[in-house]
Chain A
Amino acid sequence: MLIDINAYVGNWPFQQLKYNTCEALYSRMNKFGVDLSVISNLNGIFYKNTQSSNEELFEEIRSNRKFKDRFIPYAVINPIYAGWQDDLEICIKNFGFKGVRLYPSYHDYEILDPACIELVKRVRDYGLPVVFNFRMEDPRQRSWIDTAYVKNNGIREWNLKNILPIVKAVPDAKYIILNFANATKLDAEELNLVKRTNLLFDTSGRAITNMADFIKQFGEDKFAFGTHSPILDYLTGLLRIESLYSSEADEKTKDLLRSGNAKTMLGL
């Protein structure tokens, strides 16, 4: 069984995307044997009122009965925008969304903004995961009107050290961290925080140059298949798992990476 914990529908305003509708993603899943996909709406990154994107996603999944058993929808919430508390409740209670994606760099707040902490705590109290990204695309090829910086950060995108403060602030929440990029070196305390937290990385990120090394560093329970589709290609995240030698990961471990760890995180 394969569960993709990192997929999208919607648009990226700076480049045409393929496979960015539920119908196209559904076909992609069938072609490559993916059973379930966690999806959110890219438009939520760019709309000031992110709830409009959540409504779009809800309607798109409802548009065809076959979608509801294959897609696990996640809301996009901006905690510094009016009414987000109501939006969160509607997404979870009315729409049946199963987690929340946050985009501090695009929505222009710091990761320890009190509103961000409150949102993470609320999602935690629902028993659902919150999702952060290292990045959406390589900043070297960004459009001139894309974000140019991350607040209070000399680099233009995050590494793991930039995300860990929220994990430390709300250590009993569930975290999914996507598109692993940049430096992976942590001190002992930080690594311990990652290991003891209910936290999952996906396999789509370019920093994962050798999957076996990452499993050794963080643990086999910390990774799950993810594509970052349709921004990144559909197979590289899977190749990182399937090309592991049996001496590096036995079938049981591979199954954890394909779906087992995702099931645990998603409560399936």
Chain B
Amino acid sequence: MSNFINRRKFVSSASLSAAGFLISDCVLGMHDPNSELNAADTKSVTLKYNLMNDVMKYRKIDSHVHAHLFDGGPEGNIAFADRLGIDKMFISLPAYRGEGTPQDFRSYNDLMLDCMKQYPDRLIGQFTANAIFQKESLEEIKRCVDLGMVGLKVYTQLKINDPLFYPIIEKMIDLKMIIHMHAYAQLGLGGYRMKYDIGIRPNTSIPEDFVDIAKRYPEAMFQYAHIGGGGDWEYACKSFVNYPNIYVDTSGSNNPENMIDSAMKLLGEDRLFFGSDNCYYQSVGKILASNLTENQKKKVFFDNYNEILKKSGRNVD
């Protein structure tokens, strides 16, 4: 029995595609001369799926996004937030080049504060610092928190488990805010089984560094950045299975078909945050294409990160 419905059912069903069409066997090849299918049977009747309805039905908090880094000022962020129904963006500008001096990180944070003033209902800044400059970093954290920024975003000046980070982490524990660290998982990184070099900075934090610091500070919260950022996401997620204070954001330009389902299976439904890292299409597409339940999608898109914000009283309504 053919799986296709007949023509009458096709035209009478509003839920079915209006774009039915007739494709000849000869056009597609594979012609079976014994086929008894008639023209009506060969109508395509795939269900109409409205992607943008699905996109817009979930509230979203972007837990990993930058302004003034990839695609200009906050206007670009907001344009994509509007396009894809992202309610709030937690923007940051870490010290991605140069030494990351106190002058650098203060100026980056000031830029984010300007963005927050420009779009107060949409953008919230994550402050950055550089633990090499410990005293200045602690002062900067206080300044930024007082000005309404939430959460620390750090880059590759030091590994997350470097002892210089300890006072910063302890401060973040006091604030009940998350530490969001740029990260990478590549076999070969840091001299371990080095097979090839793609120019990753030597102080980039790898999953083992996160595990090390998560064990030292079980009361701290760590966000492993962008499992879709090009690194080996399976390696990272497998590393974190037993460390409930390590969360991952799903941002990055990579959108493997099975990434979200696999991360959910390994880490559970509370430890995944939606994030884009400014790769907006992939960030939304890969979650919608996953097999997560409605409630799980809701948690990843919005609730999980909001639960983190609740701890410091900075949650989104």
Contacts and interface: CB of A to CB of B under 8 A. Distances in A.
Contacts of A245: 83
A139 interface: yes
B28 interface: yes
Residue among A16, A72, A235 with max Cβ neighbours from chain B (10 Å): A235
22 contacts: A29-B46, A32-B51, A68-B25, A68-B29, A68-B31, A68-B32, A72-B28, A96-B28, A96-B29, A98-B29, A140-B186, A144-B193, A148-B196, A206-B253, A232-B255, A232-B257, A233-B285, A235-B285, A236-B255, A238-B285, A242-B52, A245-B83
Residue among A36, A138, A239 with max Cβ neighbours from chain B (10 Å): A239
Contacts of A231: 256-257
Interface string B49-60: 101100100000
**Ranked 9 nearest A-B pairs via Cβ:** A96-B29, A236-B285, A1-B19, A140-B230, A33-B49, A233-B289, A68-B30, A235-B289, A235-B285
B32 A268 contact: no
Given A68-B25, A96-B28, A138-B230, A33 B17 contact: yes
Contact of B281 (A58, A67, A240): A240
A89 interface: no
Contacts of A141: 186, 230-233, 254
Interface in B17-31: 17, 19, 21, 23, 25, 27-31
B158 interface: no
B13 interface: no
Contact of B289 (A30, A140, A234): A234
Given A69-B28, A140-B230, A236 B281 contact: yes
Interface in A51-106: 58, 61-62, 65-73, 95-98
Given A1-B19, A70-B44, A141-B233, A232 B28 contact: no
Interface in A32-62: 32-36, 58, 61-62
A148 B27 CA distance: 39
Contact of B258 (A17, A35, A211): A17
Interface string B105-145: 00000000000000000000000000000000000000000
Given A17-B257, A230-B257, A234-B257, A62 B30 contact: yes
Interface in A11-37: 15-19, 29-36
Contacts of B4: 66
Interface of B: 2-4, 17, 19, 21, 23, 25, 27-32, 35, 37, 42, 44, 46-49, 51-52, 55, 71, 83-84, 186-188, 193, 195-196, 198, 230-234, 253-261, 278-282, 284-286, 288-290
A66 B28 CA distance: 12
Given A33-B46, A35-B46, A206-B282, A95 B29 contact: yes
B19 to A, nearest CB: 4
A238 B282 CA distance: 10
Given A1-B21, A242-B51, 15 more contacts: A16-B258, A33-B47, A61-B30, A95-B29, A138-B253, A141-B232, A144-B193, A144-B195, A156-B198, A233-B256, A233-B286, A233-B289, A235-B289, A236-B289, A242-B52
Nearest to A229: B257
A239 B281 contact: yes
A65 to B, nearest CB: 7
Contacts of B261: 18
A184 interface: no
B179 to A, nearest CB: 24
A243 interface: yes
Residue among B46, B49, B52, B188 with max Cβ neighbours from chain A (10 Å): B46
A209 interface: yes
A156 B196 CA distance: 11
Contacts of B282: 206, 233, 236
Given A73-B29, A98-B28, A235-B289, A209 B279 contact: yes
A18 B257 contact: yes
Contacts of A238: 51, 285
A231 B196 CA distance: 23
B46 to A, nearest CB: 5
Contact of A235 (B29, B48, B186, B288): B288
A20 to B, nearest CB: 9
Contacts of B46: 2, 29-30, 33-35
B255 A69 contact: no
Nearest to B43: A69
